[in-house]
Structure 1
Amino acid sequence: MAQALSLNVSNSVGGSNRAPILVATEYHHWSQRMEKYLRILRRYVWRSVEEGPHVPILTPVQTVGAIARLGGGQPTLNRPNKDDLDKMENDPIAFYEISCGVAPNNFDIIINCKSTKEIWDVLKNLYEGTEQAQDKKFTTALNEFNKFNAHAGERLEDSFKRFNLIITKLTNAGTVRSNHETNLQFLNGL
Protein backbone atom coordinates (compact mmCIF):
# COMPACT_ATOMS: atom_id res chain seq x y z
CA MET A 1 0.00 0.00 0.00
CA ALA A 2 2.78 2.44 0.96
CA GLN A 3 4.66 1.55 -2.23
CA ALA A 4 1.56 2.30 -4.36
CA LEU A 5 1.11 5.66 -2.60
CA SER A 6 4.79 6.44 -3.15
CA LEU A 7 4.44 5.60 -6.85
CA ASN A 8 1.35 7.85 -7.17
CA VAL A 9 3.15 10.75 -5.48
CA SER A 10 6.17 10.19 -7.72
CA ASN A 11 3.99 10.28 -10.83
CA SER A 12 2.13 13.41 -9.77
CA VAL A 13 5.38 15.27 -9.03
CA GLY A 14 7.06 14.38 -12.33
CA GLY A 15 10.78 14.78 -12.90
CA SER A 16 13.40 16.52 -14.96
CA ASN A 17 12.54 14.36 -17.98
CA ARG A 18 8.88 13.61 -17.27
CA ALA A 19 5.86 15.89 -16.99
CA PRO A 20 3.96 15.85 -13.70
CA ILE A 21 0.65 13.98 -13.81
CA LEU A 22 -2.49 15.96 -13.00
CA VAL A 23 -4.34 14.72 -9.93
CA ALA A 24 -7.66 16.56 -9.74
CA THR A 25 -7.41 17.41 -6.05
CA GLU A 26 -3.89 18.81 -6.57
CA TYR A 27 -4.49 21.04 -9.59
CA HIS A 28 -2.89 24.12 -8.03
CA HIS A 29 0.32 22.23 -7.26
CA TRP A 30 0.29 20.50 -10.65
CA SER A 31 -0.04 23.80 -12.53
CA GLN A 32 2.96 25.24 -10.68
CA ARG A 33 5.04 22.10 -11.29
CA MET A 34 4.02 21.97 -14.95
CA GLU A 35 4.93 25.62 -15.45
CA LYS A 36 8.40 25.06 -13.96
CA TYR A 37 8.84 21.88 -15.99
CA LEU A 38 7.92 23.61 -19.27
CA ARG A 39 10.12 26.63 -18.47
CA ILE A 40 13.23 24.45 -18.12
CA LEU A 41 12.32 22.21 -21.03
CA ARG A 42 13.12 24.74 -23.72
CA ARG A 43 13.50 28.49 -24.05
CA TYR A 44 10.04 29.58 -25.26
CA VAL A 45 7.87 26.57 -24.44
CA TRP A 46 6.10 28.25 -21.50
CA ARG A 47 5.48 31.36 -23.63
CA SER A 48 3.43 29.13 -25.92
CA VAL A 49 1.14 28.30 -22.98
CA GLU A 50 0.79 31.94 -21.94
CA GLU A 51 0.41 33.56 -25.34
CA GLY A 52 -0.60 30.77 -27.69
CA PRO A 53 1.33 29.38 -30.63
CA HIS A 54 3.85 31.60 -32.37
CA VAL A 55 2.55 32.95 -35.66
CA PRO A 56 5.28 34.49 -37.82
CA ILE A 57 4.59 37.81 -39.48
CA LEU A 58 4.80 37.25 -43.20
CA THR A 59 5.03 40.27 -45.46
CA PRO A 60 4.46 40.49 -49.20
CA VAL A 61 7.60 40.43 -51.31
CA GLN A 62 7.41 41.92 -54.79
CA THR A 63 8.62 39.89 -57.73
CA VAL A 64 11.74 41.35 -59.29
CA GLY A 65 13.49 40.75 -62.53
CA ALA A 66 12.14 40.01 -66.03
CA ILE A 67 8.72 38.78 -64.87
CA ALA A 68 8.11 41.99 -62.91
CA ARG A 69 9.16 44.16 -65.89
CA LEU A 70 6.67 42.39 -68.12
CA GLY A 71 3.91 43.16 -65.64
CA GLY A 72 3.48 39.57 -64.52
CA GLY A 73 4.04 37.78 -61.28
CA GLN A 74 2.10 37.87 -58.10
CA PRO A 75 3.54 39.22 -54.88
CA THR A 76 4.61 36.35 -52.65
CA LEU A 77 5.04 36.14 -48.89
CA ASN A 78 8.44 35.93 -47.32
CA ARG A 79 9.30 32.67 -45.55
CA PRO A 80 9.54 32.30 -41.76
CA ASN A 81 13.09 32.81 -40.56
CA LYS A 82 15.04 30.40 -38.31
CA ASP A 83 13.87 32.16 -35.13
CA ASP A 84 10.24 31.88 -36.27
CA LEU A 85 10.66 28.19 -37.08
CA ASP A 86 12.27 27.58 -33.69
CA LYS A 87 9.42 29.37 -31.85
CA MET A 88 6.80 27.52 -33.92
CA GLU A 89 8.13 24.20 -32.56
CA ASN A 90 7.34 25.20 -28.97
CA ASP A 91 3.57 24.77 -29.10
CA PRO A 92 3.68 21.13 -30.26
CA ILE A 93 6.28 20.39 -27.56
CA ALA A 94 4.19 22.00 -24.81
CA PHE A 95 1.03 20.40 -26.24
CA TYR A 96 2.62 16.96 -26.06
CA GLU A 97 4.01 17.43 -22.54
CA ILE A 98 0.74 18.70 -21.07
CA SER A 99 -1.20 15.97 -22.89
CA CYS A 100 1.11 13.38 -21.32
CA GLY A 101 0.56 15.04 -17.95
CA VAL A 102 -3.18 14.45 -17.78
CA ALA A 103 -5.05 11.30 -16.87
CA PRO A 104 -7.23 9.59 -19.51
CA ASN A 105 -10.45 11.13 -18.16
CA ASN A 106 -8.92 14.61 -18.54
CA PHE A 107 -7.47 13.75 -21.93
CA ASP A 108 -11.00 13.29 -23.23
CA ILE A 109 -11.72 16.87 -22.14
CA ILE A 110 -8.73 18.39 -23.98
CA ILE A 111 -8.59 16.13 -27.03
CA ASN A 112 -10.21 18.72 -29.31
CA CYS A 113 -8.10 21.68 -28.18
CA LYS A 114 -6.12 23.28 -31.00
CA SER A 115 -3.31 24.89 -28.96
CA THR A 116 -1.50 24.51 -25.67
CA LYS A 117 -2.97 27.78 -24.43
CA GLU A 118 -6.44 26.41 -25.08
CA ILE A 119 -5.61 23.21 -23.12
CA TRP A 120 -4.24 25.25 -20.23
CA ASP A 121 -7.29 27.52 -20.16
CA VAL A 122 -9.71 24.56 -20.30
CA LEU A 123 -7.97 22.79 -17.41
CA LYS A 124 -7.71 25.99 -15.37
CA ASN A 125 -11.39 26.74 -15.85
CA LEU A 126 -12.30 23.15 -15.02
CA TYR A 127 -10.29 22.99 -11.78
CA GLU A 128 -10.15 26.59 -10.60
CA GLY A 129 -13.42 27.79 -12.07
CA THR A 130 -14.33 31.19 -13.37
CA GLU A 131 -13.28 34.40 -11.61
CA GLN A 132 -16.61 34.37 -9.82
CA ALA A 133 -15.98 30.82 -8.57
CA GLN A 134 -12.45 31.78 -7.52
CA ASP A 135 -13.81 34.75 -5.57
CA LYS A 136 -16.25 32.44 -3.81
CA LYS A 137 -13.42 30.03 -2.90
CA PHE A 138 -11.40 32.94 -1.53
CA THR A 139 -14.33 34.26 0.51
CA THR A 140 -15.07 30.80 1.88
CA ALA A 141 -11.42 30.21 2.83
CA LEU A 142 -11.17 33.66 4.45
CA ASN A 143 -14.34 33.00 6.48
CA GLU A 144 -12.97 29.62 7.60
CA PHE A 145 -9.73 31.32 8.63
CA ASN A 146 -11.47 34.07 10.58
CA LYS A 147 -13.92 31.70 12.29
CA PHE A 148 -11.43 28.94 13.07
CA ASN A 149 -12.03 27.30 16.44
CA ALA A 150 -10.84 24.02 17.85
CA HIS A 151 -13.65 21.51 18.28
CA ALA A 152 -14.49 20.24 21.74
CA GLY A 153 -12.43 17.14 22.50
CA GLU A 154 -10.31 17.58 19.36
CA ARG A 155 -6.62 16.78 19.71
CA LEU A 156 -4.20 19.66 19.17
CA GLU A 157 -2.63 17.79 16.24
CA ASP A 158 -6.00 17.41 14.52
CA SER A 159 -6.83 21.10 15.06
CA PHE A 160 -3.47 22.04 13.57
CA LYS A 161 -4.00 19.81 10.52
CA ARG A 162 -7.44 21.31 9.94
CA PHE A 163 -6.02 24.83 10.33
CA ASN A 164 -3.22 24.07 7.86
CA LEU A 165 -5.81 22.97 5.28
CA ILE A 166 -7.51 26.35 5.68
CA ILE A 167 -4.15 28.11 5.17
CA THR A 168 -3.56 26.03 2.05
CA LYS A 169 -7.00 27.02 0.70
CA LEU A 170 -6.16 30.68 1.30
CA THR A 171 -2.80 30.31 -0.42
CA ASN A 172 -4.41 28.53 -3.38
CA ALA A 173 -6.97 31.35 -3.56
CA GLY A 174 -4.11 33.81 -3.96
CA THR A 175 -3.61 35.30 -0.50
CA VAL A 176 -0.78 34.80 1.93
CA ARG A 177 -0.99 35.59 5.63
CA SER A 178 2.06 36.49 7.68
CA ASN A 179 3.39 33.89 10.12
CA HIS A 180 2.51 36.24 12.98
CA GLU A 181 -1.11 36.59 11.85
CA THR A 182 -1.43 32.85 11.21
CA ASN A 183 0.02 31.88 14.57
CA LEU A 184 -2.16 34.38 16.39
CA GLN A 185 -5.31 33.15 14.64
CA PHE A 186 -4.48 29.53 15.51
CA LEU A 187 -3.82 30.35 19.17
CA ASN A 188 -7.02 32.41 19.41
CA GLY A 189 -8.94 29.48 17.93
CA LEU A 190 -7.79 27.15 20.69
Structure 2
Amino acid sequence: MEMYLKRLGRDMWRSVEEGPYVPILTPVQANGTQARLCGGPNAMNRPTKDDLDEMENDAIAYFEISCGVAPDNFDIIINCKFAKEIWDVLKNIYQRSEQAQDKKLTNILNEFNNFKALPSESLNYSFKRFNPIITKLSNAGTVQRNHETNIKFLNGLGRHWSTAKMILQGDRKIHTLSLFKLYEELQAQESTMLKDFADLGGPLALIAQTA
Protein backbone atom coordinates (compact mmCIF):
# COMPACT_ATOMS: atom_id res chain seq x y z
CA MET A 1 0.00 0.00 0.00
CA GLU A 2 2.82 2.40 0.85
CA MET A 3 4.54 2.04 -2.53
CA TYR A 4 1.20 2.22 -4.36
CA LEU A 5 0.23 5.51 -2.73
CA LYS A 6 3.69 6.99 -3.26
CA ARG A 7 3.40 6.21 -6.95
CA LEU A 8 0.13 8.13 -7.06
CA GLY A 9 1.77 11.18 -5.54
CA ARG A 10 4.71 11.98 -3.32
CA ASP A 11 2.50 13.36 -0.54
CA MET A 12 -0.11 10.58 -0.55
CA TRP A 13 1.68 8.48 2.05
CA ARG A 14 2.15 11.56 4.22
CA SER A 15 -1.62 11.61 4.64
CA VAL A 16 -1.58 8.04 5.93
CA GLU A 17 1.39 8.47 8.28
CA GLU A 18 0.75 11.97 9.64
CA GLY A 19 -2.97 12.45 9.24
CA PRO A 20 -5.02 14.98 7.28
CA TYR A 21 -3.51 18.25 6.19
CA VAL A 22 -4.90 21.24 8.10
CA PRO A 23 -4.45 24.55 6.27
CA ILE A 24 -3.45 27.53 8.38
CA LEU A 25 -6.02 30.24 7.74
CA THR A 26 -5.38 33.74 9.04
CA PRO A 27 -7.84 36.60 9.47
CA VAL A 28 -8.17 38.96 6.53
CA GLN A 29 -6.26 42.15 7.25
CA ALA A 30 -8.70 44.61 5.69
CA ASN A 31 -11.12 47.34 6.65
CA GLY A 32 -14.28 48.82 5.28
CA THR A 33 -15.26 47.90 1.74
CA GLN A 34 -12.40 45.37 1.32
CA ALA A 35 -13.45 43.48 4.47
CA ARG A 36 -17.07 43.35 3.27
CA LEU A 37 -15.96 41.94 -0.09
CA CYS A 38 -13.92 39.28 1.70
CA GLY A 39 -16.83 38.20 3.89
CA GLY A 40 -16.94 40.61 6.78
CA PRO A 41 -14.60 41.71 9.56
CA ASN A 42 -14.15 38.10 10.85
CA ALA A 43 -13.38 36.61 7.44
CA MET A 44 -10.43 34.25 6.99
CA ASN A 45 -8.05 33.98 4.08
CA ARG A 46 -9.08 31.33 1.61
CA PRO A 47 -6.97 28.14 1.29
CA THR A 48 -4.16 28.48 -1.19
CA LYS A 49 -3.69 26.22 -4.19
CA ASP A 50 -1.09 24.28 -2.21
CA ASP A 51 -3.60 23.84 0.62
CA LEU A 52 -6.19 22.53 -1.83
CA ASP A 53 -3.68 20.13 -3.36
CA GLU A 54 -2.81 18.72 0.05
CA MET A 55 -6.47 18.28 0.98
CA GLU A 56 -7.08 16.55 -2.34
CA ASN A 57 -4.22 14.18 -1.54
CA ASP A 58 -5.96 13.38 1.75
CA ALA A 59 -9.21 12.59 -0.06
CA ILE A 60 -7.49 10.36 -2.62
CA ALA A 61 -5.50 8.53 0.07
CA TYR A 62 -8.70 7.94 2.03
CA PHE A 63 -10.46 6.59 -1.05
CA GLU A 64 -7.59 4.34 -2.12
CA ILE A 65 -6.94 2.82 1.29
CA SER A 66 -10.69 2.27 1.82
CA CYS A 67 -10.89 0.37 -1.46
CA GLY A 68 -8.04 -1.88 -0.31
CA VAL A 69 -9.84 -3.02 2.85
CA ALA A 70 -11.19 -6.58 2.79
CA PRO A 71 -15.01 -6.77 2.89
CA ASP A 72 -14.85 -8.61 6.23
CA ASN A 73 -13.10 -5.61 7.80
CA PHE A 74 -15.12 -2.84 6.21
CA ASP A 75 -17.52 -2.52 9.14
CA ILE A 76 -14.52 -1.88 11.39
CA ILE A 77 -13.34 1.16 9.41
CA ILE A 78 -16.69 2.54 8.31
CA ASN A 79 -16.61 5.34 10.91
CA CYS A 80 -13.03 6.37 10.12
CA LYS A 81 -12.89 9.82 8.53
CA PHE A 82 -9.25 9.97 7.48
CA ALA A 83 -6.72 7.67 5.84
CA LYS A 84 -4.53 7.66 8.97
CA GLU A 85 -7.44 6.45 11.11
CA ILE A 86 -8.05 3.54 8.74
CA TRP A 87 -4.36 2.66 8.66
CA ASP A 88 -4.06 2.71 12.46
CA VAL A 89 -7.09 0.42 12.81
CA LEU A 90 -5.74 -2.01 10.20
CA LYS A 91 -2.30 -2.08 11.83
CA ASN A 92 -3.86 -3.04 15.16
CA ILE A 93 -5.91 -5.80 13.52
CA TYR A 94 -3.00 -7.32 11.65
CA GLN A 95 -0.57 -6.99 14.53
CA ARG A 96 -2.98 -8.96 16.70
CA SER A 97 -3.34 -11.46 13.87
CA GLU A 98 0.44 -11.85 13.59
CA GLN A 99 0.75 -12.30 17.34
CA ALA A 100 -1.93 -14.99 17.22
CA GLN A 101 -0.13 -16.73 14.35
CA ASP A 102 3.17 -16.60 16.25
CA LYS A 103 1.53 -18.11 19.30
CA LYS A 104 -0.10 -20.81 17.18
CA LEU A 105 3.23 -21.70 15.54
CA THR A 106 4.92 -21.86 18.95
CA ASN A 107 2.25 -24.30 20.16
CA ILE A 108 2.68 -26.51 17.09
CA LEU A 109 6.47 -26.52 17.45
CA ASN A 110 6.05 -27.53 21.07
CA GLU A 111 3.81 -30.39 19.95
CA PHE A 112 6.50 -31.48 17.48
CA ASN A 113 9.40 -31.20 19.93
CA ASN A 114 7.54 -32.91 22.78
CA PHE A 115 6.03 -35.76 20.76
CA LYS A 116 6.22 -39.13 22.48
CA ALA A 117 4.32 -42.34 21.87
CA LEU A 118 1.92 -43.08 24.68
CA PRO A 119 2.44 -46.19 26.83
CA SER A 120 1.05 -49.29 25.08
CA GLU A 121 0.15 -47.17 22.04
CA SER A 122 0.30 -48.95 18.70
CA LEU A 123 2.47 -47.68 15.86
CA ASN A 124 -0.68 -46.81 13.93
CA TYR A 125 -2.00 -44.52 16.65
CA SER A 126 1.40 -42.90 17.14
CA PHE A 127 1.52 -42.15 13.42
CA LYS A 128 -2.06 -40.80 13.46
CA ARG A 129 -1.08 -38.36 16.23
CA PHE A 130 2.24 -37.33 14.72
CA ASN A 131 1.28 -36.86 11.07
CA PRO A 132 -1.26 -34.04 11.74
CA ILE A 133 1.47 -32.13 13.60
CA ILE A 134 3.59 -32.15 10.42
CA THR A 135 0.57 -30.99 8.41
CA LYS A 136 -0.07 -28.14 10.85
CA LEU A 137 3.58 -27.06 10.64
CA SER A 138 3.38 -27.06 6.84
CA ASN A 139 0.16 -25.01 6.90
CA ALA A 140 1.87 -22.53 9.22
CA GLY A 141 4.69 -22.09 6.69
CA THR A 142 7.27 -24.26 8.48
CA VAL A 143 8.31 -27.23 6.37
CA GLN A 144 10.45 -29.81 8.11
CA ARG A 145 13.03 -31.78 6.14
CA ASN A 146 12.30 -35.49 5.75
CA HIS A 147 15.36 -36.31 7.84
CA GLU A 148 14.24 -34.12 10.75
CA THR A 149 10.69 -35.47 10.61
CA ASN A 150 11.77 -39.10 10.46
CA ILE A 151 14.29 -38.80 13.29
CA LYS A 152 11.75 -37.06 15.48
CA PHE A 153 9.13 -39.73 14.86
CA LEU A 154 11.59 -42.56 15.54
CA ASN A 155 12.87 -40.94 18.73
CA GLY A 156 9.31 -40.51 19.92
CA LEU A 157 8.55 -44.23 19.74
CA GLY A 158 8.74 -46.49 22.79
CA ARG A 159 11.82 -48.37 24.02
CA HIS A 160 10.77 -51.59 22.27
CA TRP A 161 11.64 -49.79 19.01
CA SER A 162 15.21 -49.04 20.12
CA THR A 163 16.86 -51.51 17.76
CA ALA A 164 14.71 -50.43 14.82
CA LYS A 165 15.69 -46.84 15.57
CA MET A 166 19.37 -47.74 15.57
CA ILE A 167 19.13 -49.61 12.27
CA LEU A 168 17.02 -47.03 10.46
CA GLN A 169 18.96 -44.04 11.74
CA GLY A 170 22.12 -45.61 10.41
CA ASP A 171 20.62 -46.03 6.94
CA ARG A 172 21.11 -43.13 4.55
CA LYS A 173 17.61 -43.50 3.14
CA ILE A 174 16.35 -41.96 6.38
CA HIS A 175 17.29 -38.63 4.75
CA THR A 176 14.91 -39.07 1.82
CA LEU A 177 12.14 -41.37 3.01
CA SER A 178 8.77 -39.71 3.40
CA LEU A 179 7.16 -40.07 6.80
CA PHE A 180 4.54 -42.39 5.35
CA LYS A 181 7.21 -44.65 3.78
CA LEU A 182 9.00 -44.78 7.11
CA TYR A 183 5.73 -45.73 8.77
CA GLU A 184 5.22 -48.52 6.22
CA GLU A 185 8.69 -49.92 6.93
CA LEU A 186 8.03 -49.92 10.65
CA GLN A 187 4.55 -51.33 10.21
CA ALA A 188 5.90 -54.28 8.21
CA GLN A 189 7.91 -55.47 11.22
CA GLU A 190 5.73 -54.27 14.09
CA SER A 191 3.91 -57.51 14.94
CA THR A 192 7.06 -59.66 14.75
CA MET A 193 9.09 -57.17 16.74
CA LEU A 194 6.48 -56.92 19.50
CA LYS A 195 6.12 -60.69 19.73
CA ASP A 196 9.88 -61.21 19.93
CA PHE A 197 10.22 -58.41 22.44
CA ALA A 198 7.55 -59.99 24.66
CA ASP A 199 8.90 -63.56 24.29
CA LEU A 200 12.56 -62.75 24.81
CA GLY A 201 12.21 -59.79 27.11
CA GLY A 202 14.10 -57.36 24.86
CA PRO A 203 14.92 -56.23 21.35
CA LEU A 204 17.75 -58.70 20.62
CA ALA A 205 15.51 -60.85 18.45
CA LEU A 206 15.08 -57.97 16.07
CA ILE A 207 18.83 -57.82 15.46
CA ALA A 208 18.84 -61.51 14.55
CA GLN A 209 15.82 -60.98 12.32
CA THR A 210 17.40 -58.13 10.37
CA ALA A 211 20.96 -59.52 10.22
Q: How high is the TM-score relative to the length of structure 2?
A: 0.45
> Structure 1 or 2: larger helix share?
2
Higher relative contact order (CA 8 A, sep 6+): 1
